[in-house]
Amino acid sequence: MEFDKLTASRRGFLGLAGAGGAALVLGPGSAQAARVRTSARILILGAGAGGAAIANRLSERLEGAQITVLDGKQEHWYQPGFTLIAAGLRPASYAVSSITQWLPRDITFINEYAAELDPEANRVTTTGGQQIEYDYLIVSTGVVLDWDAIEGFDLGMVGPETGIGAQYAGPDYAARTWAAIDRFTNEGGVGLFGRPETEMKCAGAPVKITFLAEDIATTKGNRGKCDFIYTTPGGALFGVPVIHHRVRQIMDERNITYNYRWTLKSIDAQARTATFDTPEFEETLEWDFINVIAPQRAPQVIRDSGLSWADRWTDEGWIEVDMQTLRHARYPNVFGIGDINGVPKGKTAASVKWHLPVVEDHLVSEIAGREGTRLFDGYTSCPLITRIGRAMLVEFDYKDNLVPSFPGLIAPLEELWISWLMKEVALKATYNAMLRGRA
Ligand SMILES: Cc1cc2nc3c(=O)[nH]c(=O)nc-3n(C[C@H](O)[C@H](O)[C@H](O)COP(=O)(O)OP(=O)(O)OC[C@H]3O[C@@H](n4cnc5c(N)ncnc54)[C@H](O)[C@@H]3O)c2cc1C
Which residue minimizes the CA distance to atom 20 of ligand 1? 349
What integer pLDDT is reported at residue 404 of this predicted model? Answer: 92
- State the pLDDT confidence band at 408, using cuts at 50, 70 and 90: confident
Domain boundaries, the chain: 13-145+297-380+429-435, 147-296+382-425
For residue range 102-146, list pLDDT tens digits in order: 999 999 999 999 999 999 999 999 999 999 999 999 999 999 999
Among 172, 293, 348, residue to substitute to test ligand 1 (most atoms within 8 Å of Cβ)? 348
The architecture (CATH level 2) of 147-296+382-425 comes to: 3-Layer(bba) Sandwich (3.50)
Distance in angstroms (rounded) separating the CA atoms of residues 305 and 317: 10
- Whole-number pLDDT of residue 19: 35
Q: How much of the chain exceeds pLDDT 90, in percent?
A: 88
Is the pLDDT at 191 greater than 60, yes or no? yes
Q: How large a percentage of the chain has pLDDT more than 70? A: 93
CA of 15 to the centre of ligand 1 (A): 21
- Decide if pLDDT at 268 tops 80: yes
Q: Is the pLDDT of residue 394 over 90?
A: yes
Pocket of ligand 1 (CB under 6 A): 45-51, 70-71, 73, 79-80, 82-83, 113-114, 140-142, 167-168, 201-202, 205, 299, 301, 338-340, 347-350, 352, 381-383
Q: Ligand 1 centroid to 222 CA: how many Å?
A: 35
- The mean pLDDT of 1-19, rounded to a whole number, is 40
* pLDDT over 70 at 29, yes or no: no
Cα(314) to ligand 1 centroid in Å equals: 21
Distance of CA 288 from the midpoint of ligand 1 (Å): 30
* CA 280 centroid distance within chain: 32
- Band (pLDDT 50/70/90 cuts) for residue 13 is low
Q: 76 with 52: CB under 8 angstroms? A: yes
Has domain 13-145+297-380+429-435 been given CATH number 3.40.50.150?
no
Whether 334 shows a pLDDT value over 70: the answer reads: yes
Structural contact between residues 32 and 25, judged by C-beta atoms closer than 8 angstroms: no
Is the pLDDT score of 206 beyond 50? Answer: yes
Q: How far, in Å, are 58, 175, 202, 238, 422 from residue 414 at the CA level?
A: 38, 29, 19, 16, 14
Polymer length in residues for the chain: 439
Between CA 8 and CA 324, with CA 35 as vertex, the angle to 5 degrees is 45
Check for a shared fold between 13-145+297-380+429-435 and 147-296+382-425: yes
Q: Which residues of 185-216 are buried (b: 16+ CB within 10 A; e: fewer)?
A: beebbbbbbbbbbbbbbbbbbbbbbbbbbbbb
Residue 146 to residue 143: CA distance in whole angstroms:
9
**Rounded mean pLDDT of the chain?**
93
Instruction: Kindly report the protein residue whose alpha carbon is nearest to atom 15 of ligand 1.
Output: 348
DSSP state letter for 34: P
The dihedrals phi and psi of 194, each to the nearest 5 degrees, come to: 160, -175
What DSSP string runs through 70-121? E-S-SEEE-TTHHHHHHTTSS-GGGGEEEGGGGS-TTSEEE-S-EEEEETTT
